[in-house]
Amino acid sequence: MRKKLIYSVIMGLVFILGSQNALGQAEYEKYVKSETPDSSILLMADEVLALEMDDAEKATKLIEKLYKKVQKKPYQMIGLSNYFLQKKSIPTAKMTAERAYKLFPEDPSVMIQLGDIYQSIRAYGKATQYYDEALSKDPENLYAMTMAAYLYKDTNPAKCVEYLQMMDKVAPSSVMVSRYLGDIYYGDSQNDKALENYVNYYKIVPHDIDNLNENSCINYVALLRMNEKYDEVETLSTELNGVFPKNTFFKRSIIDAIISTRYANLSEEDINRVIEKSDFVINNELPDTSYNYRDYAYLAEAYKAKQEYDEYIKWAEKAIQKEPRAATTLLPEIADAYSRAGNYDKAIEMCEKFIATGDTLVQPTDYFFLAGYYGNKALKLEGAEQEAALAKAEEIYDNYETMVDVDEQYRGTFMMAEYYNALQNTDKMVEYFVFALNKMGEPNDVNKAHYVRANKMLLGVETDKDSPDVASIKKYCSAILSVDPEDEFANNVNEILKQNGL
């Protein structure tokens, strides 16, 4: 029982040889020889501990007597050192181990004991010195290899790999070997080797919180993402999210995998799964500081795909608050969402805010959309407010037309005609369609759809007159049929003209 207690103390102090390591108590006892001192020895040890604080001189004399009783028993000296370690008297534990080393300089267990003590006080250089020395005496001592590999992992990765390879020969399929090699190769950007070792690690380690190393699992998922193995990312992240439910990396990786797998062609099921897997965002399960831009942006995009624009706006604005630089990409989309929801004032606000950034992403089309928001706003107004909104739309359209190629310098005027058509202001509609056609000139691949539309609208107005102008009607029909010879409206009007001998 006492031997188990000593083992647990050592394991607690070195904090490595627990569930994250390949070694258990049986292996420790196999590679590190230690005997529990007789009860009389332990009683003297307790007296030493009692005197340490009050009378150091008496304690020193007593411990010398104690050493004389065990000086021919190296493994009892190790046990005694462990006993002092258990009682948190590290200086005495160290002194005892050093005395054992002086008496038994060839014994690897004594060297390991000193290594453990130095490891416990974070004197890692001294610790590795003793583990290395133990291995020079006992080249297959798995415990010494394990401890040396652990201590070299962050300070001398190449040396750590050397020990891990030694360990793999002594104890193949070691959880620790696979994990540490994965970690080291990952840190050194040797991604193929890292992934190979993480795959092996995940095969042999129990999949629970007591055995899996969280950081190594994060690295494993990250490598799968780098290799675009998104189905594996989703499967693995879903399992690891169950093991580490508070780790947002795995939650985000699930969502990222769903989106990345079918980015351009997300099904309705995929979109719903993105929303479902974003429950930790929707339910505000974490402090605000724990969320990042993508948490909100992915959720916003999912709602946008479902055409739930109020939800899209809510999460997109949160994304911008989290990462203001995202405004350069999200503000135009939020403006569009507000427009689709009929809130043109907010659409205008967001679009103007985006244009005001002066970012290189601002394009002439953003001015075109802004003018459109003013135009759509005008349709909901009356009187002077309507006229003001239309005037603003026209001003922005005029500005837009100065920014684009000559073939597109009619679009703003064309849109003004459409707004006047929606307002049933026929005179203004005709004025702007005629103006737009003058800007278009001859039909081409850029303008032909609008060219036909404008001529058909003008043809409709002319044919509705009590005294239509036949020349104008023929002109509009000819223009339409030059682009679309099969146009039913123009052909019907032409037929009527022929029937009437015109």
Exposed e or buried b for every residue in 117-148, given b needs 16+ CB within 10 A?
A: bbbbeeebeebbbbbbbbbeebeebbbbbbbb
The pLDDT value recorded for residue 262 is 60
The stretch 93-103 carries a mean pLDDT of 94
The pLDDT value recorded for residue 173 is 79
pTM listed for this prediction = 0.68
The pLDDT value recorded for residue 279 is 94
- Specify the long-range contacts of residues 296-301, CB closer than 8 Å, at least 24 apart: 296/322, 297/326, 297/330, 298/255, 298/256, 298/259, 298/274, 299/274, 299/275, 300/330, 301/259, 301/274
The two tokens of residue 101 are 């080393």
The pLDDT value recorded for residue 24 is 58
**Ramachandran assignment for 303, one of left (phi > 0), alpha (psi -120 to 50 degrees), beta (any other):** alpha
Cα 18 to Cα 29: distance, rounded to the nearest angstrom:
15
| pLDDT beyond 50 at 491 | yes
Mean pLDDT of the chain: 90
Q: What is the pLDDT of residues 185-217, one digit of tens each?
A: 999 999 999 999 999 999 999 999 999 999 999
The pLDDT value recorded for residue 55 is 87
Whether CATH 1.25.40.10 fits 173-261: yes
- For residue 25, what is the DSSP state? H
The pLDDT value recorded for residue 14 is 42
User: Using 50, 70 and 90 to split pLDDT, how confident is the model at 434?
Assistant: very high
**Distance between start and end Cα atoms, the chain:** 117
The pLDDT value recorded for residue 388 is 98
Tell me how far apart the 2 most distant CA atoms of the chain are, in Å: 136
| pLDDT beyond 50 at 468 | yes
The pLDDT value recorded for residue 433 is 98
Residue 438 burial by CB count (10 A; 0-12/13-18/19+): exposed, middle or buried?
A: exposed
User: Using 50, 70 and 90 to split pLDDT, how confident is the model at 17?
Assistant: very low
The pLDDT value recorded for residue 267 is 87
The pLDDT value recorded for residue 496 is 92
Choice among 32-41, 211-220, 336-345, 363-372 with the minimum mean pLDDT: 32-41
Exposed e or buried b for every residue in 463-491, given b needs 16+ CB within 10 A?
A: beeeeeeeeebeebbebbbebbeebebbe
Domain boundary assignment for the chain: 1-142, 173-261
Cβ neighbors of 141 (< 8 A, separation 6 or more) are: 31, 108, 112, 134, 135
Instruction: Tell me the CATH number of domain 1-142, given options 1.10.3210.10, 1.25.40.10, 3.90.550.10, 3.40.50.12240.
Output: 1.25.40.10
Nearest to 214 by CA among 202, 224, 204: 202
Q: What is the pLDDT of residues 374-417, one digit of tens each?
A: 999 999 999 999 999 999 999 999 999 999 999 999 999 999 99
Give the CA-trace dihedral at 286, 292, 297, 303, to 10 degrees: 0
What's phi and psi for 128, nearest 5 deg?
-65, -30
Q: What is the pLDDT of residues 296-341, one digit of tens each?
A: 999 999 999 899 999 999 999 999 999 988 878 889 999 999 999 9
User: Using 50, 70 and 90 to split pLDDT, how confident is the model at 25?
Assistant: low
The pLDDT value recorded for residue 263 is 54
Cα 62 to Cα 405: distance, rounded to the nearest angstrom:
99
The pLDDT value recorded for residue 266 is 81
Choice among 9-13, 53-57, 258-262, 491-495 with the minimum mean pLDDT: 9-13
Choice among 34-38, 132-136, 239-243, 254-258 with the minimum mean pLDDT: 34-38
The pLDDT value recorded for residue 27 is 65
User: Using 50, 70 and 90 to split pLDDT, how confident is the model at 5?
Assistant: very low
| pLDDT beyond 60 at 2 | no
| pLDDT beyond 60 at 6 | no
The pLDDT value recorded for residue 264 is 58
Of all residues in the chain, what percent carry a pLDDT higher than 90?
75
Q: Do the first three CATH levels of 1-142 and 173-261 match, i.e. the same topology? A: yes
The two tokens of residue 19 are 């569930």
The pLDDT value recorded for residue 71 is 86
**Ramachandran assignment for 441, one of left (phi > 0), alpha (psi -120 to 50 degrees), beta (any other):** left
